[in-house]
Structure 1
């Protein structure tokens, strides 16, 4: 008992029956106020701190040069810069990799919502438990949206919890608006991806392949992502 440290619990936890029983016993001893405070603190650790008056990472001229076919790029500028600053995507190389992925995922910032057929792959979204699509209609309701095409009920729920916005589940179309499109991508880059770690380290190593594997789950469109990323490097380095 003298050597037990609560901070070691995540490292040793293996979902064994006696471990679950111990945690459930501990949780049952907390008051409702204590539970809410624990959850607030736990989730705050997984979210980036709010940013006040962030310095712009990308200028309007750069945004226009990178995405020339967007009718009104200014509608994205403030939201994009806030997300870049919030999630420490603030060096030219980090921003180039982030925007390169955005270029591929959104067709040059033109599509904030998955183009729906449905295709056979899109029909397959329905009932996919790995995406959290457990209710009828979830496949279409939680289709890809945002700068990184956030997909699946489970990912929408995780994002909504992380940013404290439960209305995103009630109205997932919010993720296709410029502000939440940028925030969802920043969150995914920062901690919402399958590794749970920021992709900034991969960007610092100029590891396009590694970043693509995390964002795409494979290497689909790698060459197009490379072209967008190289263009972003040229634009941002001016």
Structure 2
């Protein structure tokens, strides 16, 4: 059984990550650990390592879109192709221009992962949330039926996307993503950088944190944080 004690070894900042959050998350993980294919030390370590990088040490449940102008250009193709939009939407510290995070989401995610064009507001409505940073209308919709099958609970994430930022659904949607994409099969291949990279590629293909994710996994696995659960 996974407990808050195990998770506190991962999210150590008691000021930023409450006991209540860890209790909810550990309970949800324990209830469906087998059904969601997190039923080995290797699988769980790979899974949690990815979550750590997705939500950070403070367990931020909503995507941070506070990009500078240059950050937009280097991260999103639409802003590389339209630098004038990057100038308009990106953060400029020198002149105290804040990032227009809603506009960034709507443009960066337009016509992707089930979203409509920028004018629909889908990018902002379905921005990254939860512990795997579920993004895009298509992913929110796809998660609903799987959630209903596993938890026998009809929850409309597409009509109430803010639910995904709540700890119960934040961890459930992450578990669904893991299961739906069969990432457990990749995790079963071992503890190498090649394996962690293959998982990262599915979760966040364009991230610059491949190396960091492997380091986090290696630390969790070598310390045996979840080892006793599977004795």
TM-score between both structures, scaled by the size of structure 1:
0.67
For the Cα contact (< 8 Å) 1:160–1:166, is it kept in 2? yes
Change (3 A) 1:124 1:113: closer
Q: Are residues 1:130 and 2:77 paired?
A: no
Tell me the SS of whatever aligns to 1:228. helix
Pairwise CA distance, 1:187? 1.1
Give me the whole-angstrom Cα distance separating, in 2, the residues matched to 1:228 and 1:179: 23
RMSD: 2.1
Residue 227 of structure 1 is matched in structure 2 by 215
Gaps of 5+ in 1: 1-55
Larger radius of gyration: 1
Q: Are residues 1:71 and 2:53 paired?
A: no
Give me the whole-angstrom Cα distance separating, in 1, the residues matched to 2:135 and 2:47: 18
Gaps of 5+ in 2: 77-100, 149-153
Pairwise CA distance, 1:85? 3.0
Change (3 A) 1:166 1:75: closer
Give me the whole-angstrom Cα distance separating, in 2, the residues matched to 1:109 and 1:229: 18
Give me the whole-angstrom Cα distance separating, in 1, the residues matched to 2:67 and 2:158: 22
Moved more, 123-132 or 99-108: 123-132
Aligned length: 177
Pairwise CA distance, 1:95? 0.2
Moved over 4 A (4+): none
Pairwise CA distance, 1:125? 4.3
Tell me the SS of whatever aligns to 1:108. coil
Give me the whole-angstrom Cα distance separating, in 2, the residues matched to 1:236 and 1:109: 21
Q: Are residues 1:181 and 2:165 paired?
A: no
For the Cα contact (< 8 Å) 1:168–1:174, is it kept in 2? yes
Residue 236 of structure 1 is matched in structure 2 by 226
